Amino acid sequence: MAYFTYDTSVVIAKQLVNFRKTSGLLLSSIVLLELTASAQDESQRKFFESLFRDYQSDESLIIPNEADWLLESKILYRLSHHRRRVDGGRLRQLAPGMSQRMALDALLAASARRWKAAVVTENWEHFKAIQYFCGVKLIKASEFFR
């Protein structure tokens, strides 16, 4: 069976609520972290927590392991060195919050790769840069939801 997972950008852009109807969907704990942290109210927070428990109970929750964290650190190292090379030896400061988003995206990609799951994303450019260093499968959200 082919597996896939959504990036947070897809859940937000497509306003996805019903996750159980889709065959092959694995849910990333990283996406749930981001959704729970930005929940609009207590009921929405509880909904995301219940999703976490549901996906955890049937072993369809992608949780990063030690190897994923190590791969993520290598990806971030290579991305920063690539940026330095492109900028002629200088390392430009990223926009506020960008390093945190890239770290979470790299961890999502590393853990999805271990599960052999494609990442469906709206943040194509971010994930293409990450893909270059880890080989995760990517799907553009616009193509996935045709």
**How many angstroms separate the CA atoms of 17 and 144, rounded?**
17
Give the relative orientation of helices 42-57 and 29-37 as an angle to the nearest 10 degrees. Answer: 170
In this predicted structure, what is the pLDDT of residue 89? 64
The pLDDT, as a whole number, for residue 133 is: 92
User: Domain of 117?
Assistant: 3-144
Q: What is the CATH number of the domain that holds 57?
A: 3.40.50.1010
Predicted local confidence at residue 97, as pLDDT:
63
CB-CB neighbours of 122 under 10 Å: 18
Model confidence band, residue 80 (pLDDT cutoffs 50, 70, 90): confident
> pTM score, two decimals?
0.88
Q: Measured between alpha carbons, how far is 78 from 70 in angstroms, rounded to an integer?
A: 13
Q: Is the pLDDT of residue 91 over 70?
A: no
Q: How many domains does the chain have?
A: 1
